[in-house]
Amino acid sequence: MSKGRSLLAEAFDRHQSGGFDEADCLYRHILSGEPAEEEALHRHGLLVAQLGRLEEADRLLARALALDPRATEAAVNHGKILRALRRPEDAAHRYRQALALSPALLAALEGLGHAEREAGHAEAAAGAYGRAALLGTGAAVLHQWGIALDGLGRPEAAAQALRRSARLDPTVPSVAVRLASILERLGCESEAAGWYRRALVLQPGRSEVRAALTLDTESRE
């Protein structure tokens, strides 16, 4: 193993074991001798992002991707940093860059959905979340997909997405409440009441849910 690779391995080991200051020094030492070391730029960017230095992380990841535009992992990680910097349009660009190279990359699809949602592009967000759903995404993304579909005036599809989310993770009261509200609008009062009850089991103190359940029950009497 070359000296540079040995130092990079040591820096990554310190990074992974929580020796952040030592890792920071090692990454800086590597880059002072090899400023075009893409992997060191990428890993150093991740480290400084962990330490809250997001602007510096942005610069490091941008340099890494300028050197290797086909580095999908770096593109996804840069997207995360750009979202944290409240730059969703730039983040979406990075996620699309990763997806152009790896169209089924779930982390990039999920990130693209989040970035498009944060940028106010509901249709694009729903599209990305939907593609992620086809690949087997988790409950949280299905929840966001349901919200996006509901916002686009597609309540039946939204209800399906939220039911899937609840099956994967039945412990999230906000999913049950959103689903109940949609079902109520669709005229499915009995099923809506069941979801309101589930939400109250999960979070008994939600007075607005209790009030909605009472109104739903009274409307069916």
pLDDT in tens, 134-185: 999 999 999 999 999 999 999 999 999 999 999 999 999 999 999 999 999 9
Calculate mean pLDDT across residues 58-62: 98
40 confidence band (pLDDT: 50, 70, 90): very high
* E-only strand ranges, the chain: none
Phi, psi of 94 (to 5 degrees): -65, -40
- Report pLDDT for 1: 40
Reading the block at residue 82, the tokens are 């750009």
CB-count burial class (<10 Å; 0-12, 13-18, 19+) for 35: exposed
Model pLDDT, residue 7 = 86
What is the reported pLDDT for 98?
A: 98
Least Cα distance to 142 among 92, 178, 118 occurs for 178
Chain mean pLDDT for the chain: 92
List CB contacts of 209: < 8 A, sequence separation 6 or more: 173, 177, 180, 196, 199, 200, 203
pTM summary value = 0.87
Domains of the chain: 138-221 (1.25.40.10)
- Which residues 6+ apart lie within 8 Å of 190 measured at CB? 220
pLDDT digits (tens, 9 = 90+) for 109-137: 999 999 999 999 999 999 999 999 999 99
Q: Say what the pLDDT of residue 77 is.
A: 98
Interatomic CA distance for residues 178 and 187, integer angstroms: 14
From the centroid of its chain, how far is CA 89? 15
Residue 60 reports pLDDT greater than 90:
yes
Q: What is the pLDDT of residues 3-26, one digit of tens each?
A: 667 888 898 889 988 999 999 999
Contact 191, 163 (CB under 8 A): no
Q: CA–CA separation, 51 vs 25, rounded Å?
A: 14
Rounded (to 5) percent helix, strand, coil in the chain: 80, 0, 20
Q: What is the pLDDT of residues 75-96, one digit of tens each?
A: 999 999 999 999 999 999 999 9
Residue of 171, 167, 166, 133 whose CA lies nearest to 149: 133
Give helix then strand counts, H and E, for the chain. 13, 0
Query: pLDDT at position 204, please?
Result: 87
Q: If pLDDT is split at 50, 70 and 90, which confidence band does 56 have?
A: very high
Query: Which of 1 and 51 is assigned the larger pLDDT?
Result: 51
In the predicted model, is pLDDT for residue 37 greater than 70?
Answer: yes
Signed CA dihedral, 169, 171, 172, 176: sign only: positive
